[in-house]
């Protein structure tokens, strides 16, 4: 892909790399390195939802259920916090760029 000293990467090479990367399994080392949250398969996500629904059902049948603040929260999977932080930082950066283009100071 032009990384052997020739930095003239063509659009076709980029498209080919994107197509190959898209087809990688979710738990591949490349995708996990780029986005750790992608390592969790559908089974893990479904199990987390089942577990959360069970805790919610048990909580709903208690006296504490009148206080919505005590409701159980979903389990956080490894990588989700980092993904949220990355998304927040990206959104903040995009907002700053848009504000500069519009002449607005944030």
- pLDDT value of position 57: 92
In 1-106, beta strands by DSSP E: none
* Rounded Cα gap, residues 28 and 52, in angstroms: 27
* Tens-place pLDDT, residues 60-81: 988 888 887 888 888 887 777 7
* Rounded Cα gap, residues 27 and 29, in angstroms: 6
Question: In the predicted model, what is the mean pLDDT of residues 74-91?
Answer: 77
Q: pTM for this structure?
A: 0.48
* Tens-place pLDDT, residues 30-54: 877 777 766 777 788 899 999 999 9
Domain limits of the chain? 1-34, 41-76, 77-106
* Rounded Cα gap, residues 79 and 84, in angstroms: 9
């Amino acid at each position: 892909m032009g990384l052997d000293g020739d930095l003239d990467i063509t659009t076709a090479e980029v498209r080919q790399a994107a197509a190959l990367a898209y087809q990688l399994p979710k738990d591949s080392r490349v995708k996990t390195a780029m986005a750790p949250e992608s390592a969790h398969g559908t089974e893990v996500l479904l199990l987390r939802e089942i577990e959360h629904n069970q805790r919610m059902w048990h909580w709903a049948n208690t006296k504490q259920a009148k206080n919505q603040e005590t409701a159980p929260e979903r389990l956080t999977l490894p990588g989700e916090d980092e993904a949220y932080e990355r998304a927040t930082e990206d959104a903040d950066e995009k907002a700053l760029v848009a504000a500069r283009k519009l002449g607005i100071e944030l």
